[in-house]
Amino acid sequence: MVTIRLVVLTLAFSLAALSITVDAQQPRPVHLIGILLTSASPDDPLGHALSEGLGELGYVEGRDFRVEYRSAEGQLDRLPRLAEELVYLKVEAMIVATEAALLAAKQATTTIPIVVQLFDYDPVAEGLIDSLSHPGGNITGVFTRAPVRRVTPIGHQEARSRKLRLAYFVDRILKGTNPRDLPVEQPSTFELAINLTTAKALSLTVPELILLRADEVIR
């Protein structure tokens, strides 16, 4: 009886150790993200914004995620086929920043989350989502319904804000959140931040009127 129990315990410990070893050897999943471009190349700011934004959230490109680019290079009739290619690759999210790319992505899939960053566009009025708070489908992201006062800021605060907003949606999706449960953002104002240190380094003179209208001046 003692011998039998000893054999059983030894076998149990061996199996447990084997399980731990196998788990430790399992590679972490590399998330595949697709970016559908209308006319740009892989050097498009959208891709850089996504990579940098995810980097600020702790992701490492190549280790945690990989990006597949598809560009129509200005030939809009190519977009549907390119969107289908990304669907075939089984990307976990598809990023778009133009209406043409959005419509092609929507036509290609009803299941893969589509993350949008688009200005001067109302997705509710266009019938693409049910509402801002409950999109109800596979489309979410940041839409701006109408252009507001926009002055190009000197510095990186607005760019950083856009990167983080885009990365926020992708991060939530990669962690399992259904896009139908991710409220669409529709910012109505933009903050103007002026970095005088950067302006000086670039030998730029910022008009006094612009400084007065700025929400933040970094000295």
Residue 55 confidence (pLDDT) = 94
pTM above 0.75, yes or no: no
Name the band, by pLDDT with cuts 50, 70 and 90, for residue 61. very high
Q: What angle do CA 159, 45, 216 make, to 5 degrees?
A: 10
Question: What is the average per-residue pLDDT within 64-91?
Answer: 96
What is the C-alpha separation between 189 and 183, in angstroms, rounded?
18
pLDDT, tens digit (0-9, with 9 covering 90-100), for 93-113: 999 999 999 999 999 999 999
Domains belonging to the chain, first-starting first, are 26-191 (3.40.50.2300)
pLDDT of 44 > 90? The answer is no
Instruction: Report residue 24 as tokens.
Output: 């430790």
- Of 80, 77, 66, the residue nearest 36 (C-alpha): 80
- Of 190, 194, 191, the residue nearest 154 (C-alpha): 194
Other CB atoms within a 10 A radius of the CB of residue 177 amount to 14
Name the band, by pLDDT with cuts 50, 70 and 90, for residue 157. low
Question: What is the average per-residue pLDDT within 84-98?
Answer: 97
Least confident piece of the model among 22-31, 121-130, 161-170, 171-180: 22-31
